[in-house]
Amino acid sequence: MKIGILSRSAEIYSTRRMVEAAQQRGHEVQVINHLLCYMNITSHRPSVHYGGHELKGFDAIIPRIGASVTFYGTAVVRQFEMMGVYSVNESVAISRSRDKLRSSQLLSRKGIGLPVTGFAHSTKATDDLIKMVGGAPLIVKLLEGTQGKGVILAETNKAAESTIEAFRALKTRFLIQEFVKEAGGADIRCLVVGGKVVAAMLRQAKEGEFRSNLHRGGSSSRIKITPEERSTAVRSAKIMGLGVAGVDLLRSNHGPLVMEVNSSPGLEGIEGATKLDVAGMIIEHIEANARPGNTRTKGDG
């Protein structure tokens, strides 16, 4: 099987591990910098070109699209879909999961537990918006943020008002959410592959920090999740339409709450914490599902 990994660097841990896992199983693998791809958008023979050559003969692609280049990255994925190439995560699903507002609305509609979330355009209802999520402390979160960037803890109502005013002055889009105090600065990352949780780790924020992201100095350890947490993670990935997803959960007094569904979850932290071959499981999922034209979106959306 010929597999393309859409990644900006072959040296990134997750990319390197998937190359190793695919080669160990006898597959041909090519790492493709999606930002250097260019496309021939034609009705009869759509194609993707790279480094002066047309990319041909791929059975599957693994998109590793960074949040800052979602628009162009998903356009490349969509082009491969138009060519009938199987994508482990489809273009529409990636776009859906990257929009924090859209994904929260979709999860809410299906009854998935979420932190109480507020969103508004007008500055005239800030007081009521803050009250709606239970008041301070609360979280102010940029819609385009990733790895804990653009996430602020406002500890007082005054601080929340000031942060909201500053974000609005910058004409940026953001959500506000209740601060789940009982989580104690910890969350659970569930790695879902093909509709199953294959690995889970507890991420704990360092002292004095509320964000548990490993990029921000958090620590990780293997954890046994509850059946309800497992079901919530699997359902969340399915609602987003993702074959591979990192689902981040908070343990609250009223059950698991989904913080985020990530379409390009990093493998270093979870493989290190669990000692599991997650990259190999992703390749096995591709082996079971990669068939010409086996995409739901067919490049549309």
Domains located in the chain, CATH noted: 2-92 (3.40.50.20), 96-107+182-284 (3.30.470.20), 117-179 (3.30.1490.20)
* Separation between Cα atoms, residue 162 and residue 185, nearest integer Å: 24
Report pLDDT for 51: 93
Report pLDDT for 212: 54
pLDDT bin (cut points 50, 70, 90) of residue 298 is: very low
Residue 104 confidence (pLDDT) above 50: yes
> Once rounded to an integer, what is the mean pLDDT over residues 89-94?
96
Residue 300 confidence (pLDDT) above 50: no
Q: What is the secondary structure of 144-189 as a DSSP string? A: T--TTTTEEEE-SHHHHHHHHHHHHHTT--EEEEE--GGGTTEEEE
> Once rounded to an integer, what is the mean pLDDT over residues 177-183?
88
- Whether the CA torsion 89, 71, 239, 254 is positive or negative: it is positive
Residue 299 confidence (pLDDT) above 50: no
Q: How much is the pTM? A: 0.88
From the number of C-beta atoms within 10 Å of its C-beta (0-12, 13-18, 19+), residue 163 rates as middle
- Report which of residues 175 and 28 the model is more confident about: 28
Contact 2, 41 (CB under 8 A): no
User: By mean pLDDT, which of 112-126, 157-171, 199-213 is the weakest?
Assistant: 199-213
pLDDT bin (cut points 50, 70, 90) of residue 273 is: very high
What are the start-end ranges of the H helices in 189-253?
Answer: 227-240
Report pLDDT for 295: 66
Average pLDDT, the chain: 90
pLDDT bin (cut points 50, 70, 90) of residue 265 is: very high
From the number of C-beta atoms within 10 Å of its C-beta (0-12, 13-18, 19+), residue 286 rates as buried
Amino acid (1-letter code) at residue 32: I
Report pLDDT for 165: 87
Percent of the chain with pLDDT over 70: 90
Tens digit of pLDDT for each residue in 51-80? Answer: 999 999 999 999 999 988 999 999 999 999
